[in-house]
Structure formats: structure tokens, C-alpha cells
Chains A and B, each alone.
Chain A
Amino acid sequence: MRAVAAFSAVAVCGIVTPAWCGTDADRWLDGDRVLGRSLADEAIAFEDQDDAAQAPSATNRFAGEWALVTHQMTALGLAQYCLAHPEDRAALAPQVTRAALKSFRKEMRRFGTDAWGGEDAMASLGGPHGHAYLAYAALAIGMARLLDPAFPPDVARQHDALIAAYERRLLASPTGLIETYPGEAYPTDTAAVAGAIAVHGRATGSDHAKVLARWAAMVQKVQIHAPSGFVYQRMDATTGKAHDAPRGSGTALAAYFAGFADRSVARQLAEGVFRHEATFSGFSGIREYADGTTGQGDIDSGPVLLGVSVSATGFALAPARAHGFRGAFERLYRTTDLFGAPESHGGRLRFRSGGAFGDAFLLAMLTSGPELAP
């Protein structure tokens, strides 16, 4: 009798638990308007609170990066939602602009200015230093310009100048990489640069085909670790020498950013990511390190538990949805639901573990698809 009961327990657990955690997966995949709007409204509510709080700018590098990325991901998520649901565009486009403008504020990039010894990215556009971290904001600004006819022209001119600098630096780079900080180039950040350039082209009609084609070729030639399909996490922008292992968190986020610029590169990176999917009873996560490499969790990967990275798992939702990896999306979403603890309150949806940062990121990841390059 116990054997029958044990079999029954395993079977019930194998069916009920994934179903319990995955109730919203299909709705996200199908672009459910109500669900998307409920998370969008939570992100907007955070921006309202942030306006009221007027938090001081972060001097710590990681704190600054996270603050910038929270506003950037809010802008991108809202923009993707608008592209999927044009009927809400008039109402939400100003919100996209608000979040994007925050990510572009001078104080928001203070961590990068400090890293470059006081050199501000916007005050050194003619110089050789990459300042690739600002591409996150540039991408958000580009999406806002694409959607909002009332986007402020003075910021648009600054954005034009930044994109021109990125284009020049990327064309001059022998590796298709530009530096984020002195001596540090990240393929993920350069994918954000490429995405920002591409979206600028869509918003303004400028032709960036040459630089984007060169970047795509260099991703294949220099930045991808062929045996694993991952991109190297950190490299030398001049020599292309790897300064870190090929990793899941960087590759999954690069796959998302690459989607703005080049579908085929993004899909190739996505396929690389899903080669490292670890599955258990209908749930899955993305391993941070490929076979043959090991390492600890860090600010990029978040905690690494049993080899699975929290960040890579969350980031991988975007390429899974955008490129139609339906099964992988469902498995990853179940994990996100289990640990993210989503909750509806007052018509809004929030992921309780992640707070505002998690909500902004998941809004962008769970609505990814409409932003893909034509």
C-alpha cells in the first residue's frame, strides 16, 4: 500500500505543483493585456514614489548600476507593453519617457563618472573611452523617442550625440567591444550599445546598418565561447582576451539586448542559454557556468544555487518569450513564480521578493518580443 501511496504522492506533486506555479505562464506568453498592465501599473507606482522620495544619487558603483537599470527596465517594459497593446500607447508613452529620462540623469550615472576618474560620459563624447554603461539609458531613451511624440527635443539632441559617439567607438574597436569601465569591457553592455544604436535608427530614420553588421560579426568571431554558446562575461576591448568565464547571466541579458539590434544574433545567444537549462519536475533555471568552468555568484549572477544563477534564470525569460521557446518559458516562469512570490493587490501585480527592482526587470523580461529588430 505504501508503494502505491508513494507513487501517488510523486505523481500528484509532479502535476499539481508545476500547474500551481505556472498558472500565469500562458497568459504572459499570449501577451495578456490585463496581466501586463497590472505589472506595468506597479512599476509606474514605483516611479511615482521615487519622484516623491527624491532619493540621493548613489556613489557606490553597484548601487548606481541597479538604480539606473531599475528605471531603464521600467521604460523598456512599458515600451514593449505599448508596442504589443497600441491602444494603451497614448496613456503610457509619457510614463516611458519619465522612466527613461530618469535613467539618463547626470546623477544617475555618477558611479560611471567616478569609475572614469571624474570623466562624465556626456562631457567626453569626442574621447576614446567607452562609457558603455550609459547604453542602458540610451536604449531606454531610444524606446521613449520611438513611442512618445512629445519627447523633449533637447534630450533627443543629447541622445543623438551619444549614439554618434557609440557608433564611432564601435566601428573603431578591433573586437566589437567598447569599455564600460577602464580596462573592462562586457559583451552584454556592448549588446546594449548595439541595441541603443538600432533603436535610435528606428526612432529617427538614421542608417546604422554598417556598425550593426560589424558588431554582429564580432560577436560571432570574438565574444562567443563556441563550446558553450555563452558569451564571455568580461573581456579586454582591445585584444579580446577573456577576463572572466563564459557565463549564463551575461549571455541571457545579452540575448535580450541583442534582440533590439539583430534577431539572428539574439536567437543564437538564446540557443546558447537554453543549452544550459537545468530542469526539475517542470521547473528550470539557467546554469551560470558551462561545463569545465566554475566560479562564485557575484553582482551579475546573484546567488548561484546548485550551479543555477538567479539572474540568468530571470533574464532568460525574455529570449524564451521573444524567440518562441515556449516550453522553456513555462519552466522558467514556474521557478520565477515559486521564488518571486507574485501577488495581486489593488489591481496591480508585484513580485514580493524582488521589490521595485524585480518588478521592473520582470516587466521587461515578461513582455519581451515586440522590441525585436525587424
Chain B
Amino acid sequence: MNAAAAWNGARAATRTVLGSRCVRWAVWLSLLYVVMDLLLSLEMGARGLLSPGGSIHPDAVVIGLACIAVRVVGRFAVPALLGFGLTCVVVERLVGTRRA
């Protein structure tokens, strides 16, 4: 198999996989996760949600809780969406091949 055929095969496979709505959701959620993770790093620095004296940093709490919510949802939802979407793609292919 030459490089061009491999490239075309990879593109076709990517198109097929991204054709799944679940996989597209997983990709968007992953992007949001990365952006929010970056935001968390920038916002928190070494501050955290609370100071060493126990007082709340209100701005950090708002942004931090949003970032952590995306982190929690992302870490559960991205693998689940990928698992669901890829299984659908594989099963559809298998069923399609058998019917053909």
C-alpha cells in the first residue's frame, strides 16, 4: 500500500468517524475542556479558590467552579461519547458489510 492510498484511507476513516454526532460532541467537549483547563491555570496561578487564611477569592470561585464543572463533565462524557459513537460506527460498518 503506497502513502497516497494510506492518506486517502485515513481521511475516509476520519470523515466516517466525524460523521457520528457523538464523536463530534466529544471533539467539541474536548476543545472546551482544553480551553477551560487553560483558563483555570491562568486564573488560579498559585491562588486557588481560597486563600491560606480561608477567605474566598470570589472571581476565582466563579471561574474555578465553571472550569471544574467542565473538567468533571468532560472526563466522564468524552470517553462515554467516544465509546458510544465509535461503537455505532463500527457496528454500522459491520452490519453494512454483511448486508452488502
Q: How far is the CB of B91 from chain A (nearest CB, A)?
A: 5
Contact with B along A218-238 (1 / 0, CB 8 A): 000000000000000000000
Which 4 pairs show the lowest CB-CB distances between chains A and B?
A355-B48, A12-B83, A66-B54, A8-B87
Q: How far is the CB of B69 from chain A (nearest CB, A)?
A: 10
A338/B71 contact (C-beta < 8 A), A1-B88, A10-B80, A355-B46 known:
yes
Judging by beta carbons under 8 Å apart, are A4 and B83 in contact?
A: no
Chain B residue at minimum C-beta to C-beta distance from A302 = B50
Which residue of the partner chain, among A17, A352, A356, contacts B40 with CB atoms under 8 Å?
A352
Residues of chain B contacted by A11 (CB below 8 angstroms) = 83
Bound-complex Cα distance A175 to B75 (A): 48
Judging by beta carbons under 8 Å apart, are A1 and B47 in contact?
A: no
Judging by beta carbons under 8 Å apart, are B76 and A355 in contact?
A: no
Judging by beta carbons under 8 Å apart, are B52 and A66 in contact?
A: yes
A46/B82 contact (C-beta < 8 A), A63-B54, A353-B64, A355-B52 known:
no
A339/B46 contact (C-beta < 8 A), A4-B91, A9-B83 known:
no
Judging by beta carbons under 8 Å apart, are B76 and A13 in contact?
A: yes
Residues of chain A contacted by B49 (CB below 8 angstroms) = 353-355
- Indicate if B14 sits at the interface (CB-CB under 8 A): no
For chain B, what secondary structure do more than half of its interface residues adopt (helix, strand, loop), or is it mixed? Answer: helix
Chain A 326-374 residues near chain B, CB threshold 8 A: 338-339, 341, 343, 345, 350-360
Which residue of the partner chain, among A21, A62, A352, A357, contacts B75 with CB atoms under 8 Å?
A21
Q: How far is the CB of A114 from chain B (nearest CB, A)?
A: 15
A66/B71 contact (C-beta < 8 A), A8-B87, A9-B83, A12-B82 known:
no
For chain A, what secondary structure do more than half of its interface residues adopt (helix, strand, loop), or is it mixed? Answer: helix
Q: How far is the CB of A281 from chain B (nearest CB, A)?
A: 8
Given contacts A8-B83, A9-B81, A65-B54, 14 further A-B contacts (CB under 8 A): A4-B87, A5-B87, A8-B87, A9-B87, A10-B80, A12-B79, A12-B82, A66-B52, A299-B54, A343-B41, A345-B41, A352-B44, A353-B49, A355-B51
27 contacts between A and B (CB under 8 A): A1-B95, A4-B87, A5-B91, A6-B84, A8-B83, A8-B84, A8-B86, A10-B83, A13-B80, A13-B83, A16-B79, A16-B83, A17-B75, A42-B46, A46-B52, A49-B46, A66-B50, A66-B53, A67-B54, A338-B71, A351-B48, A352-B64, A353-B44, A355-B48, A356-B46, A356-B52, A358-B48
Judging by beta carbons under 8 Å apart, are A1 and B76 in contact?
A: no
Bound-complex Cα distance A10 to B84 (A): 8
Bound-complex Cα distance A42 to B46 (A): 9
Chain A 40-79 residues near chain B, CB threshold 8 A: 42, 45-46, 49-50, 55, 58, 60, 62-67, 70
Judging by beta carbons under 8 Å apart, are B76 and A350 in contact?
A: no
A357/B87 contact (C-beta < 8 A), A58-B53, A341-B40, A352-B40 known:
no
Residues of chain B contacted by A357 (CB below 8 angstroms) = 48, 50-52, 54
Bound-complex Cα distance A352 to B72 (A): 14
Which residue of the partner chain, among A62, A338, A351, contacts B72 with CB atoms under 8 Å?
A338
Q: How far is the CB of A181 from chain B (nearest CB, A)?
A: 17
Which of under 10, 10 to 19, 20 to 34, or 35 or more describes the interface residues of A?
35 or more
- Indicate if B59 sits at the interface (CB-CB under 8 A): no
Bound-complex Cα distance A165 to B63 (A): 47
A352/B41 contact (C-beta < 8 A), A67-B52, A341-B68, A357-B48 known:
yes
Chain B residue at minimum C-beta to C-beta distance from A70 = B52
Residues of chain A contacted by B82 (CB below 8 angstroms) = 12
A338/B54 contact (C-beta < 8 A), A5-B84, A13-B83, A352-B41 known:
no
Residues of chain A contacted by B80 (CB below 8 angstroms) = 9-10, 12-13
